[in-house]
Structure 1
Amino acid sequence: MMLYRTYQSYCDRLRQDMYFLTSNGRLSEHLVDKIILQLNRVYPQILTNKEAEKFRNPKTLLHSRLSDLIKHLQNKGDKHCQEFYRALQINAEQVYNDLPSRKIISKRHLTVEDNCPQARINEDRTNRIPYGGLSLEESAHSSSQRIGNHRFHRDRH
């Protein structure tokens, strides 16, 4: 059975995480502002000054601004969404770690190992390839002893 990890784009992940991120109290106005400023200052190609001002407008509800920012980044493409995740991780690491998309990725990884113990066994075996009935560490150790003994015997003759 061949196992593979399906790729999920950052835009797809952001779509999946949107409700979590926009739920009340998850991200404070201060954190959202820090994320927007990072996207604008560190990555001006991600958010222009005009766009940053729009998403930081205190006259608009935080929930609306954050939803609009996420939709805007999704429309711009995967690189923009990736930079949002990077800014989120830097400014709100606990929120980033609690994202539903991150939990699914972790569960997928655990599920592969839990459902296929043979994969772990095979991985362990590839780390210890036998050479003449000995592991690499053992064969390297005994080879150095043999070489050392050989030199010793040669010097005695």
Structure 2
Amino acid sequence: MRGETFQKQLLRDSWFLRVDRRMDSRLLDKLIQELNQSSPQILTYAEAHKLQNLDVPTCLRMAELLTHLQGKGEEACHQLYRLLHLHAEDMYFSLPTRTAHPGNTEQANKSPQERFVLNNRGPLFFFSCFGLAVGGALLYYYSDGALWDGARAVLAYTALGLSRPTTSLLLLYAEKLGKNR
């Protein structure tokens, strides 16, 4: 992360700062107040008063502050990092730009939303798989025994391409199905 500007770091850290539970209203108000007092050219009194509106949720106020600071330039972003280091040291050291490992820069450049996506197929794929599972379960519990005679053969042939423990388990289940019917 050396050579990277504070604006770029803040852009990468902004998602974390908005959703971290340690960023409560009291800490955000303290940061706004400090920014206003230490450098009024970065955050004027009117802007600070607007950002301290308690009717607006903390994550939205933080997003507005981050957008404002990125628009003000490099020094404003540096001031925010300095204040985070002073007032919320644990949060400062857990920022994505502070915890990135040098060998894993591809993973560090992704936001947490992108990092933990298991698939990109969307909700329709999930609902279709869930519906298939529910349909299979309902069919299993509410059908007559004639349907399961063919299921034994399918289970036996399915087991051919699987590992040894899985094959023995499926064959045992197919055999049990044949004895129960």
1:74 is aligned to: 70
1:26-67 CA-to-partner distances (Å, cap 9, x unmatched) read: 301000011111100111121100010111111111111100
- The alignment's TM-score, normalised by the length of structure 1, stands at 0.62
Please give the alpha-carbon distance, in whole angstroms, between the structure 2 residues aligned to 1:35 and 1:60: 16
Asked whether 1:96 is paired with 2:92, we answer yes
Give the ranges of 4+ consecutive aligned residues of structure 1 lying more than 2 Å apart after TM superposition. none
Asked whether 1:45 is paired with 2:50, we answer no
1:150 is aligned to: none
- Asked if the contact 1:20–1:26 (Cα under 8 Å) also holds between the matched residues in 2, the reply is no
Which of 6, 9, 12 is the equivalent residue of 1:13? 9
Q: Which one is further off, 22-31 or 7-16?
A: 22-31
2:157 is aligned to: none
Please give the alpha-carbon distance, in whole angstroms, between the structure 1 residues aligned to 2:85 and 2:2: 23
Letter in 1 for 2:15: Y
Letter in 2 for 1:70: L
1:154 is aligned to: none
Aligned residues: 103
Letter in 2 for 1:19: W
2:158 is aligned to: none
Structure 1: runs of 5+ lacking an equivalent? 112-157
Asked whether 1:83 is paired with 2:73, we answer no
**Post-superposition offset of 1:6:** 4.6
Please give the alpha-carbon distance, in whole angstroms, between the structure 2 residues aligned to 1:96 and 1:19: 14
**Post-superposition offset of 1:24:** 4.8
Please give the alpha-carbon distance, in whole angstroms, between the structure 2 residues aligned to 1:36 and 1:25: 18
- The alignment's TM-score, normalised by the length of structure 2, stands at 0.54
Which of 1 and 2 has greater Rg?
2
Letter in 1 for 2:68: H
Letter in 1 for 2:11: R
**Post-superposition offset of 1:95:** 0.2
